[in-house]
Amino acid sequence: MTFPATRMRRLRANESLRAMVRETSLTPGSLVAPLFVCHGERVRRPIASMPGHAQISIDVAVEQARKLAALGVGGLILFGIPAKKDPEGREAYDPEGIVPRAFRAIKAAEPDLLLWADVCLCEYTDHGHCGVVRDGVVDNDRTLPLLARAAVAYADAGADLVAPSDMMDGRVGAIRKALDQAGHLDVPIVAYSAKYASGFYGPFREAAESAPRFGDRRGYQMDPANSDEALREVALDLEEGADAVMVKPALPYLDVIRRVKDRFQVPVVAYNVSGEFAMIKAAAQLGWLDGERTALESLTSIRRAGADVIITYFAEEIAPLLGTKRS
């Protein structure tokens, strides 16, 4: 049946009809908010390239966690700014480091809010790479035990999920083994399986002070041109014990999200990264785009591509709009 019997516009005629046939939903519970925690008290140092976001001390992070929980946001993921950086990234796995301390405080205040731990060394190393460096290259196998120690320190401190973002080979298996040995049999691993060497991480590196001092991350993060390789990464991480997998960034890699979702029937997380956020914010500030509308459209497209959960800097401002007719 074609026109005039078929008129696609019939089901678009008003918002009630559109809502009835809407295929993709977005709820606050599927969003995870990143926070940048630093030492000190009552600290709030705004991040210029990420309007509305700041490096915040633990007391402020607790208030922020309360606000996010009240909005029904699904969880938060912490990134730490250490007191001191060194070649081995010691504060990453120090049980008294900034992130474990923040987890303990937030868990005590908001026990039901899911706390995600990003496991990586780059915020803590003086050279800014995601692992320890030997002879100018990031040494995969020497980095694994340090990542495993960090994961255990975070789980001990109250993290509900651990998410390794370093892209070392074998880290999921190493972390699973260490968590199990420490008695954390039930702490899930969300693997940043397909993490691309991306220019869209620029604002994050300002926020987390984690830009590499030499070279770049192409020797361990994925080449943006590849997607078969992403499926291989996901398969390996699942074999090593990952409970959920991640694609990052999100918008330039919607095809990868879809391929992963079609191939593996596992929870898929997408990271709507700092540069994706900054682009919309900058254009909205110039009056070139409707910020709210384009943010909602971006998040909806990431869900439509196949992501179950989205880590996004828009969580706080978008959560209150969901459940309204527009979303």
The residue ranges that bind ligand PBG (CB under 6 A) are 118, 120, 122, 165, 201, 204-205, 273-274
CB of 311 to ligand PBG, least distance (A): 8
Nearer to ligand PBG, 179 or 246 (CB): 246
Nearer to ligand PBG, 110 or 123 (CB): 123
H or E element, residue 90: none
Pairing of strands 114-119, 309-312: unpaired
Known catalytic residue at 107: no
Nearer to ligand PBG, 108 or 314 (CB): 314
Contact 117, 159 (CB under 8 A): yes
CB of 39 to ligand PBG, least distance (A): 18
Backbone angles phi, psi at 18, to 5 degrees: -60, -40
Structure tokens at 209: 């002070």
CB of 273 to ligand PBG, least distance (A): 4
Q: How many CA atoms lie within 13 A of 304 on its CB side?
A: 10
- The one catalytic residue among 85, 107, 248, 261: 248
Backbone angles phi, psi at 269, to 5 degrees: -110, 140
Nearer to ligand PBG, 4 or 164 (CB): 164
CB of 118 to ligand PBG, least distance (A): 5
Structure tokens at 300: 């909806």
CA dist., res. 80 & res. 255, Å (int): 31
Backbone angles phi, psi at 303, to 5 degrees: -65, -45
CB count within 10 Å of CB 283 equals 14
- The one catalytic residue among 85, 107, 177, 195: 195
Structure tokens at 202: 């620029």
CA dist., res. 44 & res. 313, Å (int): 16
Nearer to ligand PBG, 61 or 92 (CB): 92
CA dist., res. 158 & res. 102, Å (int): 9
CB of 18 to ligand PBG, least distance (A): 32
Q: Which residues are catalytic?
A: 195, 248
